[in-house]
Chains A and B, each alone.
Chain A
Amino acid sequence: ETGVTQTPRHLVMGMTNKKSLKCEQHLGHNAMYWYKQSAKKPLELMFVYNFKEQTENNSVPSRFSPECPNSSHLFLHLHTLQPEDSALYLCASSQDQGGEQFFGPGTRLTVL
């Protein structure tokens, strides 16, 4: 196991719902990441937090809202999503930005 957990593993939501994805790392890392993986597209970096500070927002729509209360936890709050937001959302952590990243198992999100 990589030491990075994600919940829930599967989520189905309507376009008007509000939900949150949770990521927790037990590795003592300083950087955490959210990625989106859609079918037949490269992994897309969404957000980066380093020492709890957001250092990257890769032009992500405001319907995705990240939160990093401490260096071990990362949330992705979802609101008014679109069907095209259906994807596998992966969380990762690394000791420092640019180093080896450890990934969680992902949350498979389906927006109806």
Chain B
Amino acid sequence: SQQGEEDPQALSIQEGENATMNCSYKTSINNLQWYRQNSGRGLVHLILIRSNEREKHSGRLRVTLDTSKKSSSLLITASRAADTASYFCATGTNNAGNMLTFGGGTRLMVKP
């Protein structure tokens, strides 16, 4: 099965609410990255967190990493309709030549 798996697969919230997406993985990682994809478009890098980091912020985004549980979460605060997109986590490992392995993504819908 894939290295990174997002949960939930789909999430629908109202504008202004917070959105939390989770990612679980199986093997040791070098770093974990979150990407966003608008429908049918390329992915956009959001944030990278290294295996020795526990939390990182970027604007309204907050990412946590728990290597003991092999999990990460992405929190989007005060969501906006424009945040509607699919969000993917990707794990980078030394063993695979630093290749990224992407999860199946969480489809987020923010209703105005």
Contacts and interface: CB of A to CB of B under 8 A. Distances in A.
A104 interface: yes
A97 B42 CA distance: 19
B99 A45 contact: yes
B40 A56 contact: no
B interface bracket (residues with beta carbon within 8 Å of A): 20 to 34
B45 A102 contact: yes
A interface bracket (residues with beta carbon within 8 Å of B): 20 to 34
A97 B102 contact: no
B99 A4 contact: no
Interface of A: 2, 4, 6, 41-43, 45, 48, 55-56, 88, 90, 92, 96-106, 108
Interface of B: 2, 30-31, 33, 35, 40-45, 48, 88, 92, 97-105
Given A43-B102, A56-B97, A56-B99, A103 B40 contact: no
Contact of A103 (B30, B31, B42): B42
Contacts of B101: 45
A100 B48 contact: yes
